[in-house]
Chains A and B, each alone.
Chain A
Amino acid sequence: MRDYHKGIRDFILTNLVFDEGAALGNDTSFLDSGLIDSTGFLELIMFLESTYGIKVAPEEMVPGNLDSIDRAAQFLKRKLGEDTA
């Protein structure tokens, strides 16, 4: 089963945090930490859609799906039908 954590982490550190060496926990809340603003979330959504070929519906644009590396990876697995949990 693919692990999407690294791809998501690399994208966030390179394109949104601009510090590829920064420490970023898999469960760090982007909202609570202030790491990503609303424009940043749009960029994250665009990255997920263009890289993994998914479409994020408006009702799916919620913190539960996108507010940490863990949540984004889990959301991706569900969208790709790889979540067997």
Chain B
Amino acid sequence: MTERQFDSDLLQFDCEKEADRIGALLRETLLRAFKKEGAVVAMSGGIDSSVVAALAVRDLGKKRVFGLLMPERDSASETLPLSRQLAEHLGIQYAHEDISPMLEAAGCYRRRDEAIRRAIPDYGPGCKSKIVLPPFVEDQRLRLFKVVVQYPDGRLTESVLNLEAYLGIVAATSFKQRTRKMLEYYHADRLNYAVLGTTNRLEYELGFFVKLGDGAADFKPIAHLYKTQVYRMADFLQLPETIRQRPPTTDTYSLPQSQEEFYFSLPCDKMDLVLCGKNNGYHAAEVGPAVRLTPQQVEWVFRDIEAKRRVARYLLAPPVLVEAISSEPDPPPPASSLSRAPSSIPQV
């Protein structure tokens, strides 16, 4: 058992000090190590990308930060105005790129709809959908995805997804994150900038991102911050109230979908505490009171964390090589060896 009692104060931190620490590494990495002139940030109007953009402006200056607003037809109506509001609040250059035509051309929506029809055959034009997991803390521990569909007349229906339907829906919707990343790197390449990732600790550690989609980046300023800490940083950075108050959303499906119902076992603030407790060696019985769960329920969440970490290992893994190849430059030859080097100038 650990010495310190477990409570939410474990997530307290000095925002200014942490922002300075992130900033120092950001400047060192982007400007000196990578020789990049600035940073591209995909901005969704959500708290994570807003904090990343604000940290970049704080540390690099607004002239070295470029924002990308990339909604598509399933994005929430407030996504574009909120992300534009933040870009203008920060005073950065930005571009609005609607990715719906690209997704249409790649067959994202068609493939997703075909996969949904494997579970709900009459899913068609005008229907909206999302996929959800059952709440974790019931007795039912076999958490399998369901698709929820709203027909044009407002009726709702749902169905448990079989393997083919589930994988098909996830694969098709992943086009969205990967298309956005393609545009981020387009703008990064033309500006000689680096790409900043916006995943927070819950997402990074538990694999809540798309491989080579929103999981790809050159620098991830908040991947070590729990969601609660991201909100505290947003307060410190004095982000607009509308953005700080916006509930977390995946903004991926045409029906509003919270991160809790799609992936995490619990609301983000409780998930933070359970993950923090597990990371710091606390037992389920110590964590339970702080999140109002029984020790058994906390144990279930611990096991879910372990399962998700296994998924995250694959998502985070770099390519495997058959043999190690050094990417370090060769050291310069010793000065005394230069005089012995054969001359490359032809002797006449």
Query: Do chains A and B stick together as partners?
Result: yes
Interface on A for B, CB 8 Å cutoff? 31-32, 34, 37-39, 41-43, 45-46, 58, 61-63, 66-67
**Whose C-beta in chain B lies nearest to the C-beta of A62?**
B142
Q: Output the least CB separation between B301 and chain A (Å).
A: 13
Main secondary structure of the interface of B (DSSP, over half): mixed
A46 B167 Cβ-Cβ under 8 A:
no
With A32-B303, A62-B140 as contacts: A38 and B145 at CB distance below 8 Å: yes
B310 A34 Cβ-Cβ under 8 A:
yes
Q: Output the least CB separation between B131 and chain A (Å).
A: 12
B160 A46 Cβ-Cβ under 8 A:
no
- B189 in contact (CB, < 8 A): no
A61 B160 Cβ-Cβ under 8 A:
yes
Q: Output the least CB separation between A53 and chain B (Å).
A: 15
**Whose C-beta in chain A lies nearest to the C-beta of B307?**
A37
- B163 in contact (CB, < 8 A): yes
Q: Which residues on B sit within 8 Å (CB–CB) of A61?
A: 142, 144, 160
Residue among A37, A38, A43 with the highest chain B CB neighbour number at 10 A: A38
Q: Which residues on B sit within 8 Å (CB–CB) of A37?
A: 307, 310-311
Contact with B162, one of A31, A45, A62, A63 (Cβ below 8 angstroms): A45
- B208 in contact (CB, < 8 A): no
**Whose C-beta in chain B lies nearest to the C-beta of A42?**
B163
With A42-B163, A58-B160 as contacts: A63 and B142 at CB distance below 8 Å: yes
Q: Total interface residues on B, using CB and 8 Å?
A: 20
Q: Which residues on B sit within 8 Å (CB–CB) of A62?
A: 140, 142
Interface on B for A, CB 8 Å cutoff? 133, 140-145, 159-164, 166-167, 303, 306-307, 310-311
**Whose C-beta in chain A lies nearest to the C-beta of B160?**
A58
For the complex with contacts A38-B145, A42-B161, 11 further pairs of A-B residues with Cβ separation under 8 Å are A31-B141, A34-B303, A42-B144, A42-B162, A42-B166, A45-B162, A58-B160, A63-B140, A63-B141, A66-B142, A67-B142
**Whose C-beta in chain B lies nearest to the C-beta of A67?**
B142
A–B complex contacts, Cβ < 8 Å, 20 sampled: A34-B303, A34-B306, A34-B307, A37-B307, A37-B310, A38-B133, A38-B142, A38-B307, A39-B166, A41-B142, A41-B144, A42-B163, A45-B162, A46-B162, A46-B163, A58-B160, A61-B144, A62-B140, A62-B142, A63-B141
B167 A39 Cβ-Cβ under 8 A:
yes
**Whose C-beta in chain A lies nearest to the C-beta of B299?**
A32
**Whose C-beta in chain B lies nearest to the C-beta of A49?**
B162
Q: Output the least CB separation between B125 and chain A (Å).
A: 27
Q: Output the least CB separation between A1 and chain B (Å).
A: 27
Q: Which residues on B sit within 8 Å (CB–CB) of A31?
A: 141-142, 303
- Return the 5 tightest CB-CB contacts between A and B, nearest first: A42-B163, A58-B160, A46-B163, A37-B307, A63-B142
Q: Output the least CB separation between B319 and chain A (Å).
A: 20
Q: Which residues on A sit within 8 Å (CB–CB) of B141?
A: 31, 63
**Whose C-beta in chain B lies nearest to the C-beta of A33?**
B303
In whole angstroms, how far apart are the Cα atoms of A45 and B160 in the complex? 12
In whole angstroms, how far apart are the Cα atoms of A19 and B310 in the complex? 17
Q: Which residues on A sit within 8 Å (CB–CB) of B303?
A: 31-32, 34
In whole angstroms, how far apart are the Cα atoms of A37 and B159 in the complex? 20
In whole angstroms, how far apart are the Cα atoms of A37 and B307 in the complex? 7
